[in-house]
Structure 1
């Protein structure tokens, strides 16, 4: 296993981060136990969860994933130091989470205590804002004209971010969290947190996790350049585009128990004609080079300059084993060029 430094934290994280959002819905406690043990044995030290999980998010599944991890930690307390554990506070819009309200300083402090209780740990290595209070160009809202940037309340948003930072600072001082990160953010969001942290001597943003894959690479190059120049770790999530790049949903297939067989909070916005054609082309390239479609897609994300650690998830051990092999693959120049040709044909298929 290879490792990279998490921003300026001094923490080395595995190039693979094990995502856990299916634990508590598609996966049981026993499944999670097996995945955690296997991941640690393979050298993975980075684990990502959220208070909102499991997914799809519902009042019944809220907090279940953290509780599953906590159950494991309660039985393996001696292994806590082997793990870099990341979780997230949910943003606004979920009626069963703090009434659907914004992330505030008060919410930060309360939710950290609740996460610590569910996780059965004294500290969280990386605490992340799952999505900003303002509407951001994520979850299919990245097309021109969908958001109004001229009419935003910049001073209000900045004040909210300062309040969040101050609460995070209190939690760092008390030892409840070690570092904080962002998720589903933009270059402006990164830079405003950096500016506020420097101005008020508050914790510096360590990382950002955004959706990034062969089907959705809008963060390249501008946000990733921002991360590299400011030493903010870039953590792609959904590198398989919610499983689509595995090829299992080609031409409308819906394997029983797969993620797309469940109703999705934002709908199946990744399921487009262009995506379907792009996935077929990538799958053909992969198989011609002795790889699975998933391995090609994951190896490509891993070799993108600026990527720190890629967040993967699996509902089956066979998928996890297959996916991990991708991080030992070195794509040669010819194959990268062939991938690039497909990418240019389908640069933003959803």
Structure 2
């Protein structure tokens, strides 16, 4: 296993981060235990979760993934320091989480305490804001005309961000969290948090995790360049585009138990004619070079300059083994040229 520095934190994290969002819906406690043990045995020391999980997010499954991880930690208390644990506070919009309200300083304090209780741990290594209070160009809102940045009250947003930073700083000083990161945010969000932390001598942002894959590479090059130069770890989530890049959804296929068969909130905006055509082209590239489609997509993501650690998730041990094996591969010039050719034809399928 290879490792990278997690931004300015000083922590060394595996190039693979174990995602957990299906634990509590598609996966049981036993499944989670098996995945954790296998990941640790392969040198993975990085695990990502969120208070909102499991997915699809519902009031009934809220907090269930953290609870499952907490059961493993409680059963293995001496092994807590074997991995770097991240979780996230949910943003606004979900009525059953803090009445759907914005992230505030008060909600940071209470949510950290609640996550610590569910996780049955004394500290969280990396605490992340799942999405910003302002509407960000993620989840199919990145195309021109979807947002109006000129309508945003930046002064009010900056004041909210300062309040959040102050609460995060308080949690760091209390030993409850060690570092904080962003998710589904932008270069302006990164830089405003840095500006505020420097101005007010508060905890500095360590990382950002955004959706990034062969089908959705909008963060390259501008946001990733920002991360590299500001010493911010870049953590791609959904490197398989919700499983689509495995090829299992081609031409409308919906395997029983798969995410798109049960979770249309993730399938709909990614499920386009362009996506279908692009995936077919990537499958052809993978077959030409003796790779599985998943290995092609994950190995490519791992080789993108500026990527720190890629978040993977699996609902079966066979999937997990295949995904982890992809990070042992090094894609040569010929396969990268074939990938680039497909990217030029389908630059942003969704």
Shorter-chain TM-score tier: over 0.9
Name the residue aligned to 1:10.
10
Gaps of 5+ in 2: none
Shift of 1:266: 5.5
1:159-180 C-alpha deviation (Å, 9 max, x unpaired) = 0000000000000000000000
Shift of 1:59: 0.3
Secondary structure of the residue aligned to 1:38 is helix
Name the residue aligned to 1:84.
84
Q: Quick one: structure 1 residues 99 and 265, their matched pair in 2 at CA, closer, same or farther if it must change by over 3 Å?
A: farther
Name the residue aligned to 1:19.
19
Paired with 1:16 and 1:208, the residues of 2 have a C-alpha distance of: 15
Paired with 2:329 and 2:65, the residues of 1 have a C-alpha distance of: 31
Aligned-pair RMSD on alpha carbons? 0.6
- Output aligned runs, 1:228-267, within 5 Å: 228-265=228-265
Secondary structure of the residue aligned to 2:327 is helix
Secondary structure of the residue aligned to 2:115 is helix
Name the residue aligned to 2:143.
143
1:138-191 C-alpha deviation (Å, 9 max, x unpaired) = 000001011001111000000000000000000000000000000000000000
Paired with 1:255 and 1:24, the residues of 2 have a C-alpha distance of: 20
- 2:52 aligned with 1:52, yes or no? yes
1:184-221 C-alpha deviation (Å, 9 max, x unpaired) = 00000000000000000001000000000000000000
Q: Is the 8 A contact 2:5 2:13 kept in 1?
A: yes
Name the residue aligned to 1:63.
63
Name the residue aligned to 2:133.
133
Name the residue aligned to 1:102.
102
Q: Is the 8 A contact 1:90 1:130 kept in 2?
A: yes
TM-score by length of 2: 0.99
Name the residue aligned to 2:217.
217
Secondary structure of the residue aligned to 1:86 is strand
Deviating 4+ runs (over 4 angstroms): none
Shift of 1:264: 3.4
1:77-105 C-alpha deviation (Å, 9 max, x unpaired) = 11100110000000000000000000000
- Output aligned runs, 1:292-303, within 5 Å: 292-303=292-303
Gaps of 5+ in 1: none
Q: Is the 8 A contact 2:260 2:267 kept in 1?
A: no
Paired with 2:74 and 2:291, the residues of 1 have a C-alpha distance of: 38
Shift of 1:57: 0.1
Paired with 2:120 and 2:92, the residues of 1 have a C-alpha distance of: 25
Name the residue aligned to 1:119.
119
- 2:314 aligned with 1:318, yes or no? no
Paired with 1:259 and 1:189, the residues of 2 have a C-alpha distance of: 30
Name the residue aligned to 1:342.
342
Name the residue aligned to 2:184.
184
Secondary structure of the residue aligned to 2:149 is coil
Shift of 1:265: 3.5
- Output aligned runs, 1:274-313, within 5 Å: 274-313=274-313
Q: Is the 8 A contact 1:57 1:265 kept in 2?
A: no
Q: Is the 8 A contact 1:56 1:264 kept in 2?
A: no
- 2:268 aligned with 1:268, yes or no? yes
Q: Is the 8 A contact 1:254 1:261 kept in 2?
A: yes
Paired with 1:3 and 1:81, the residues of 2 have a C-alpha distance of: 16
Paired with 1:242 and 1:267, the residues of 2 have a C-alpha distance of: 8
Shift of 1:126: 0.1
Name the residue aligned to 2:169.
169
Paired with 1:78 and 1:164, the residues of 2 have a C-alpha distance of: 32
Paired with 2:36 and 2:254, the residues of 1 have a C-alpha distance of: 27
TM-score by length of 1: 0.99
Paired with 1:118 and 1:87, the residues of 2 have a C-alpha distance of: 11
Paired with 1:121 and 1:205, the residues of 2 have a C-alpha distance of: 22
Shift of 1:262: 1.2
Shift of 1:289: 1.0
